Amino acid sequence: MRIRTNVWIEDEQGRVLYGLGRQRILEAIRDYGSIKAAAESLGMSYRGLWGRLRHSERRLGLALTDSRPGGGSGGGTKLTAAATRLLDRYEATVRQVYAVSDEAYRRNLEEIFRVRERKRRKRT
């Protein structure tokens, strides 16, 4: 057994600014170099991905992508330095939160669930 944790960032009104979904969008744009290809890889529509991206940019006050028109003839979309920094720091934060939550589980709950599991096995 293990503990699971989700990490997202909210503003003062409780509106989500950034989380795993936006992280995956930026990773896909970085990996594919195209909003269209990123959307396809995530099973999203172009418009849906683009809307989420613009929404995040407005809420964060950061430009996250730099697009050049041209499609297959040299265009594409790259992440800005701010987006790359956000990707890296969010991932580092998530790893740290997981490490802390794993340790808290080990210290506080693991023995309780181990006892529960032993009792369950005895019954079968």
Considering the domain boundaries, does residue 108 fall inside one?
A: yes
If one counts the domains in the chain, the total is 1
Considering the domain boundaries, does residue 54 fall inside one?
A: yes
Report how far Cα 65 is from the mean position of its chain's Cα atoms: 16
Considering the domain boundaries, does residue 3 fall inside one?
A: no
Query: Which CATH number characterizes residue 66's domain?
Result: 1.10.10.10
In one-letter notation, the amino acid at residue 37 is A
What is the distance between the terminal CA atoms of the chain, rounded to a whole angstrom?
19
pLDDT one-digit tens code per residue, 34-87: 999 999 999 999 999 999 999 999 999 999 999 888 756 677 999 999 999 999
Question: Which residues constitute the domain of residue 40?
Answer: 9-123
Considering the domain boundaries, does residue 63 fall inside one?
A: yes
Considering the domain boundaries, does residue 53 fall inside one?
A: yes
Tokens 């503990």 belong to: 3
pLDDT at position 2: 81
